[in-house]
Amino acid sequence: MNRSVLQVALDLVELDRAITIAGEAVLGGADWLEVGTPLIKSEGMRAVSALKSAFPDRQIIADMKTADTGAIEVEMAAKSGADIVCVLGASDNSVIAESVRAARKYGVKIMADLISVPNPSGRAGELEQLGVDYICAHTGIDQQMTGTDSLDLLMKVIREVSIPVAAAGGISEKTAPGAIAAGASIVIVGGSIIRSSDVTGSTRRIKEAMNQPVPYAGPDISQEDEIREILRYVSSSNVSDAMHRKGAMSGMIPLCPGTKAVGKAVTVQTFAGDWAKPVEAIDIALPGDVIVINNDKGTHVAPWGELATISCLNRGISGVIIDGAVRDVDDIKKMQYPLWSTAMVPNAGEPKGFGEIGSEIQCGGQTVNPGDWIIADESGVVVIPKTRAYEIARRAKEVYNTELRIRQELKQGKTLSQVMNLLRWEKHS
């Protein structure tokens, strides 16, 4: 292959939307069109034939992810119009060999996908020996969410084979030049194009980036900084979607609607109205943290008020969440400080000093540990366990990006039910 190819992965579930998005991507310069696995599962082989009829001059790739009955699946895809069929590199050699035989018979090519292969560099060579036409160094979408880097995999396999290698897995305008510099002949892009509000523009920018290869230097931001960066622009609703409706606190009212808090939790267990530990937590918390307080069901006395809030502002604390009451509401509102509580009351308690800072607490019906991430906005407060914070932030970003595209389709006049094809997916139908 002389020049690098941009393959756009149509990982969608509705054929009509896939064809529209494919058309926009072709306008931006997409060379090859991949009928993504979700689309094949949702629409079957008619998705392959529909894409081929709509775009007869493009190579159509059927991402079958074949793991068994190689010959049958290759035959189906080939007869539906696919030019290239993707099989799982982790499959048994008998599956690969049968796929290759069927491919030769029906005049199509085989791309072997290295997703989840334990020894990718060794396996890539074996797959070449078995006769596959392309190797795909692929980090799956779920793996990407945990921080696995597709270009690391590409670099492990690129020198092991002499057939063309495709790079896939979260590739964007930023990483595409690195894939080409590392030697990829094909760059496969899904989310960065199909979820964009400007599919044509995003495709064009990635194509342009591919023409300026630059060696990949690895991520330019730490995972913690990336979590914070993402949580600053996604919403608590996006995070709740990413967590499959887990993590949302109940009964939390924003004192200053329109404000937002994002940060790591400094937890405080106190007793009704005992404001010593909540206020001491201000000195322990780091700038950017969120103080999360359990006031032991005390809604008649407040462990928090205006003066504590001023201290928080001075220390750069991102916000305060109280399962309990707050007072001095008018003054805090003037400061527009991000604070959520379950009650308001004028009564102050006493600084007795019971309770502790930095232990596991319950807040708004959720368990919160020190270091868990908090995102709070006008919809409410969500706690993200620290062990899954990177993954959840990345998934929330996917939710956010998916909505960018849906919003664009709504602006063009479709209803939400049309975009989502609700009737098709109703449980009782």
Question: By C-alpha distance, which of 352, 309, 300, 313 is closest to 328?
Answer: 309
How far from 409 is each of 35, 242, 281, 398, CA to CA, in Å?
A: 21, 22, 47, 17
| 108 vs 308 by CB, closer to ligand LJD2ZHX5 | 108
| 84 vs 268 by CB, closer to ligand LJD2ZHX5 | 84
DSSP assignments along 310-357, one per residue: HHHHHHT--EEEEEEEE--HHHHHHHT--EEEEEE-S-B-B----SEE
How far from 349 is each of 146, 173, 251, 284, 299, CA to CA, in Å?
A: 44, 55, 22, 21, 11
Question: By C-alpha distance, which of 144, 184, 190 is closest to 165?
Answer: 184
Q: Binding residues for ligand LJD2ZHX5, per CB under 6 A?
A: 9, 11, 36-38, 63, 138, 140-141, 168-171, 188-192
Give the β-pairing of 290-294 and 165-168: unpaired
Q: Minimum distance between the CB of residue 378 and ligand LJD2ZHX5, rounded to whole angstroms? A: 30
Q: Minimum distance between the CB of residue 36 and ligand LJD2ZHX5, rounded to whole angstroms? A: 5
Q: Minimum distance between the CB of residue 228 and ligand LJD2ZHX5, rounded to whole angstroms? A: 23
Q: Which residues contact 327 (CB under 8 A, 6 or more apart)?
A: 302, 304, 305, 306, 344, 345, 346, 347, 348
- Could you give the CA distance from residue 314 to residue 287 in angstroms, rounded to a whole number? 9
Q: Minimum distance between the CB of residue 144 and ligand LJD2ZHX5, rounded to whole angstroms? A: 6
- Could you give the CA distance from residue 31 to residue 207 in angstroms, rounded to a whole number? 10
Q: Minimum distance between the CB of residue 75 and ligand LJD2ZHX5, rounded to whole angstroms? A: 21
Q: How many CA atoms lie within 13 A of 129 on its CB side?
A: 8
| 190 vs 338 by CB, closer to ligand LJD2ZHX5 | 190
| 12 vs 308 by CB, closer to ligand LJD2ZHX5 | 12
Q: Minimum distance between the CB of residue 45 and ligand LJD2ZHX5, rounded to whole angstroms? A: 16
| 18 vs 383 by CB, closer to ligand LJD2ZHX5 | 18
| 138 vs 204 by CB, closer to ligand LJD2ZHX5 | 138
- Could you give the CA distance from residue 302 to residue 272 in angstroms, rounded to a whole number? 8
- Token pair belonging to 295: 């006031």
| 9 vs 157 by CB, closer to ligand LJD2ZHX5 | 9
The answer to whether 343 and 299 are in contact (CB under 8 A) is yes
Q: Minimum distance between the CB of residue 63 and ligand LJD2ZHX5, rounded to whole angstroms? A: 5
| 141 vs 291 by CB, closer to ligand LJD2ZHX5 | 141
**Beta bridge pairs of residue 384:** 373
Q: Minimum distance between the CB of residue 117 and ligand LJD2ZHX5, rounded to whole angstroms? A: 13
Report which residue's Cβ sits closest to ligand LJD2ZHX5. Answer: 190
